[in-house]
Amino acid sequence: MTMDDISSSDSCFQERRKKSVIPWTSNDDEKLLNAIKKYGKENWKSVSDCLPNKTRKQCRERYYNCLSDDIAKKPWSKEEDQMLIDLQKILGNKWTEMSKSFQGRTPNSLKNRFFSHLHPEYRKKLRENKINRTPDDKSEKNETKPPKSPSQKSAFIRVKSSKYEII
């Protein structure tokens, strides 16, 4: 099959064709914001039609992770950093759940902050035992999980077929 055989109206093909990674420009951001004003935050198909080479998902993620007015663009405070370390210790990598505790910080910004700025520091403190671990902290490399018992292998309980009549 050649490219000519594929109809240009085929939306799956259109999505795949636009999927190449092209960095966002300030002009793209402006077009995106104008398209969102025109079509709203729910109609990502129409929004992406205004931006050649951008998919619906790319448009949606760019808006919610970078351009939304709800996003805090201020520097991170020490209190936020400490709260992020504490929540990550309790919740693991549940960034969406953690973001509910932060005003204006997206799950993606929490993840990026943790792994780019805090994670090495956190690991160093763990090695030095300056952070008290919770009993369910799985960050220990040598820790092994106990084998599953037979009852944990399935959500279904075995029953004797003699107790039931097949109709």
**CATH 3.40.50.300 assigned to 10-67:** no
Show pLDDT as tens, one digit a residue, over the chain (167 residues). Answer: 444 444 444 555 555 555 567 889 999 999 999 999 999 999 999 999 999 889 999 999 999 888 988 888 889 999 999 999 999 999 999 999 999 999 889 998 999 899 888 877 666 766 676 555 454 444 444 444 444 444 445 555 665 666 666 66
Architecture of domain 78-127: Orthogonal Bundle (1.10)
Helices (H), 4-162: 11-17, 26-39, 44-49, 56-62, 78-91, 95-99, 107-113, 119-127
Give domain limits for the chain: 10-67, 78-127
